[in-house]
Chain A
Amino acid sequence: MSVSETYVRYRRTLSEEPLAIGVVLVALWMVWSLVTGLASGGIQISSLASLIWDGLLRGLIIGLAGIGLSMTYSILNFANFAHGDYLTSGAFAGMATSYLIAGIGENSVGALLLVGAGGSVFGGALGIGITTAPIAVVFGAVLAGVATIALALVIDRLVYRPIRDESGIALLITSIGVAFALRYLLQFVFGAGVRGTTAAGSVPRVNVPAIDGTFRVTAHDISLVVVAAGLMLGVHLLLQRTKLGKAMRAMSDNEDLARITGIPTEQVIRTTWIVGAGLTGVAGYMFVLWKGTLGFNDGWLLLLLVFAAVILGGIGSIYGAIGGGIVIGLTASVSVIWIPSEFGRAAAFMVMIVILLFKPEGIFSGRSTA
């Protein structure tokens, strides 16, 4: 690094100093108010634990959805704004399957396939849940992944492939078009209403003791943890033990170079979509199973948090996406200790903006796996 570069960096750091000081002061104030709150009993440890548990689960969903976004972001080099609607599509496909398996014979097939559009069938009445209808849930999750893979491949073939060589911004704008078309087609088919999808009352739950109380853990929480951890481990092995991971890393570094060294780039791109979309679809389904409601806007509302996670973790890193997801999920949940609850998501966005300002390459950068 030359002298002048060092000088410029030094000057830039100096000019950023006031912001950095501000961030540190805010952090200190947060720690202080948390400690005093816990000491005086204003904040109960059990409610803190409950918030952390909620944030962790939320983070797992965001992380799972983020892996797919991160992979396409680094390989295809664009921010896919339709990713949130892939989540919703997966959720609808999976739930339609679950409804069909749980309710076939007693209800009309059409109403089941439309996930009870217009209040024709209710998930609660069908007893959708991991303990009450395990087969329906497992098949639902699998089909959510499969359907999202099919959707992503079709969209890639029709929309993204013809303009593969365009700039990232052109692709981003195109993906906004895809997002619009997909989201409102879903509304056209499944209706605008938000429906309850699970038999929330009959999900088994235990109260885990914390020091001054308990917090609740449900069977759906556990299944979310199991599925998320399993899939993350699977992706890790896939990218570490096969040539695919290496090819993907090569492509995200330099696509032309990868192609002339004999890497079949189109095939790698297809595999990327398959892995990414599969995870996204399952994440969408688990999200809906976990929160118990489904609307056509769900994925879009989650998308910005997923972006935040991916940027936080460093684009292209699957560990980054998972870690970033958990940080973002925890921020959105736990921040209500310090600020009004309606600003939880805003706090997560602020964390993302602050990271972008100080470390735009993300906190896990340099350890990219995909």
Chain B
Amino acid sequence: MSVDDLRGRFEGLFERDVTLVLAVLGTIYLAYILAGVAFGYELRGQLNSIANLTFYIGVFGMLALALNLHWGYTGLFNIGIVGFMGIGIYVTALVSKPPVAEGGAAQVGGFGLPLFVGVLAGVVVAGLFGLLVALPALRLRADYLAIVTVAFSEIVRFTMMSRTFQTFTVPDTIDLWLFTFDPAADTVGLGGGGGLILNYTDPLEALLRALFLWEPYLGFVAFVQQNFISNNPKPVIDGVVYGIVLLVGVGLFYLLLSRTGKSPFGRVLKAIREDEDVANALGKDTDRFKLTAFVLGAALMGLGGILWYSGRGSITPPSFRPNITFFIWIALIIGGAGSNTGSFLGGAIFAGLLYEGPRYFKNLVETAFELGDAPRNFGEAMAGFASLDPMPFVLYTLDSISQLRLVIMGVVLIWLMHNRPEGLLGHRKETASSVDLARPGSGGSTGNPAAADGGEEQ
């Protein structure tokens, strides 16, 4: 098979992926815009809804991609994702928050360094904790690794909540052997159960200033204010632009991970996933490869956590419960572990349908029908059935949609594991081989690289 032929096939694949991604995103966005029309949103409301949707598509897409490096490529069963996310954003906060003296209402300060230093530190520290977990844990069986990582993420959360780490006083000067160091910080810490107020520069502003786009951006906001949204348009535009930044971030994650996957390093990872003993026997130091992959993935999860929470204004420990980890797992399984395009698609579908969808559905129903007040508890809901009136139950169900969406997620997960465990695009799981493994004569027709198990699934 010639090089041109291969390139042609790759381009074909790329084109189809782009079409697929655009089709899925287009459908989701169209549904949300139509819902917005039904709600009678003005431009402002529509933009808000789009910004919110884009935000969740971005973060779930990113984190699913990072998880794909662990599970899809290397076969590492990590269910401590939220721990790395939390470490990322907490370190960023510690490094970048201004000292208490300048910080207004915040009880706990930080070192007051620029935000990009904070983000960098957050990513690096998340990676280091990845190393700390992986060094001992990678020798374990997959299910033990799962339990260790989820225990780790809970330990991280306990640490965030604990009074012991709530505040520390930083001395005025620190003597380090030869030179004396004078930190700006006065009181730092993890804030305990109350969490931290993120009173550093707004991340979007910091980014745009760094790119020298801040003045043009303000000009654009003024333009929008004059022509479209007269009443304080900045928060809305901020949201939309931050969403776009996140999507660019997803693109970068995608490029990084697909390049990694195609590199010799990535091929070893896939070989480990398929059979670690064989990879070992072929002279690869599999422990080392697993370690590197785990650390890289953990750092990306840290970055994902930073991008998720840095614009939130404040962070509290309950946000970092293991549920988020499982959300990302569901996203990855919907999309198909092993495929980067699939990971992003899974993130987008999860965000649009399962995470945000039920709330929109509830609002739609409430807009369409004039509904009374929902019963306060299940008993009152069931009482309606005594007089053959299902309405209280329906109302209660709608009112509890935020809990029921987790039930739906659970059922979807079970259904997927029964009927389509490989997800949307998991059949495209890339092979560990650098050459085409398809049998002559039969391989070329499908255009897909053969699946890892010799193409039996196709």
| Chain A residues packing against B (C-beta within 8 Å) | 19, 78-79, 108, 110-111, 113-114, 117-118, 120, 159, 162-163, 166, 168-170, 172-174, 176-185, 187-192, 304, 307-308, 311, 340, 342-343, 345-346, 349-350, 352-353, 356-357, 360
B146 touches A172 (CB 8 A): yes
Question: Which single residue of chain B is at the shortest CB-CB distance from A348?
Answer: B151
B379 touches A180 (CB 8 A): no
CB distance from B336 to the nearest CB of A (A): 13
A191 touches B140 (CB 8 A): no
Among the 9-residue stretches B11-19, B155-163, B198-206, B256-264, the one with 4 or more Cβ atoms under 8 Å from chain A is: B155-163
CB distance from B137 to the nearest CB of A (A): 8
Does B154 sit at the interface, judged by CB under 8 A?
yes
Known contacts A19-B136, A180-B409, A353-B136, A188 near B147 by CB under 8 Å: no
Does B230 sit at the interface, judged by CB under 8 A?
no
The residue that A166 contacts in the complex, of B140, B159, B377, B421, with Cβ under 8 A, is B421
Known contacts A173-B413, A189-B378, A342-B161, A357 near B407 by CB under 8 Å: no
Complex interface residues of chain B between 331 and 379 (CB less than 8 A to chain A) = 333, 376-379
B140 touches A345 (CB 8 A): no
Known contacts A188-B400, A304-B151, A349-B154, A118 near B376 by CB under 8 Å: yes
B378 touches A117 (CB 8 A): yes
The residue that A349 contacts in the complex, of B137, B151, B162, with Cβ under 8 A, is B151
The CA of A192 and the CA of B403, in the complex, are separated in Å by 9
Residue of B146, B155, B376, B410 most packed against chain A (CB within 10 A): B410
CB distance from A194 to the nearest CB of B (A): 14
The CA of A137 and the CA of B303, in the complex, are separated in Å by 51
B377 touches A340 (CB 8 A): no
CB distance from A256 to the nearest CB of B (A): 21
Known contacts A111-B379, A189-B378, A342-B163, A356 near B410 by CB under 8 Å: no
The CA of A159 and the CA of B404, in the complex, are separated in Å by 19
What are 15 A-to-B residue pairs whose CB atoms are below 8 Å? A117-B377, A118-B376, A163-B417, A170-B417, A172-B146, A174-B414, A176-B326, A177-B412, A181-B406, A181-B411, A304-B154, A343-B162, A345-B158, A349-B154, A350-B155
Does B418 sit at the interface, judged by CB under 8 A?
yes
Residues of B within 8 A of A350 (CB): 155
Question: Which single residue of chain A is at the shortest CB-CB distance from B421?
Answer: A170
The residue that B158 contacts in the complex, of A184, A307, A346, with Cβ under 8 A, is A346
The residue that B155 contacts in the complex, of A182, A183, A349, with Cβ under 8 A, is A349
A188 touches B403 (CB 8 A): yes
Residues of A within 8 A of B158 (CB): 342-343, 345-346
B407 touches A120 (CB 8 A): no
Residues of B within 8 A of A176 (CB): 326, 329, 410, 413
CB distance from A321 to the nearest CB of B (A): 15
Does B168 sit at the interface, judged by CB under 8 A?
no
B377 touches A191 (CB 8 A): yes
Residues of A within 8 A of B377 (CB): 114, 117-118, 120, 191
A173 touches B329 (CB 8 A): yes
The residue that A172 contacts in the complex, of B143, B155, B382, B404, with Cβ under 8 A, is B143
Question: Which single residue of chain A is at the shortest CB-CB distance from B323?
Answer: A180
Does B265 sit at the interface, judged by CB under 8 A?
no
The CA of A182 and the CA of B142, in the complex, are separated in Å by 25
Residues of B within 8 A of A187 (CB): 400, 403
B154 touches A159 (CB 8 A): no
Does B148 sit at the interface, judged by CB under 8 A?
yes
CB distance from A193 to the nearest CB of B (A): 9
The residue that A184 contacts in the complex, of B139, B329, B382, B406, with Cβ under 8 A, is B406
The residue that B413 contacts in the complex, of A78, A120, A177, A356, with Cβ under 8 A, is A177
A162 touches B418 (CB 8 A): yes
CB distance from B266 to the nearest CB of A (A): 21
A180 touches B407 (CB 8 A): yes
CB distance from A326 to the nearest CB of B (A): 19
Residue of B150, B151, B383 most packed against chain A (CB within 10 A): B151
Residues of A within 8 A of B155 (CB): 346, 349-350
Given contacts A79-B146, A114-B377, A182-B410, 4 further A-B contacts (CB under 8 A): A120-B379, A190-B378, A343-B164, A360-B141
CB distance from A177 to the nearest CB of B (A): 3
B404 touches A184 (CB 8 A): yes
Does B29 sit at the interface, judged by CB under 8 A?
no
CB distance from A76 to the nearest CB of B (A): 12
Question: Which single residue of chain A is at the shortest CB-CB distance from B404?
Answer: A188
Complex interface residues of chain B between 390 and 437 (CB less than 8 A to chain A) = 400, 403-404, 406-407, 409-414, 417-418, 421
Does B144 sit at the interface, judged by CB under 8 A?
yes
The CA of A311 and the CA of B158, in the complex, are separated in Å by 22
Residues of B within 8 A of A342 (CB): 158, 161-164
CB distance from A191 to the nearest CB of B (A): 6
Residues of B within 8 A of A178 (CB): 410, 414
B154 touches A360 (CB 8 A): no
The CA of A35 and the CA of B180, in the complex, are separated in Å by 40
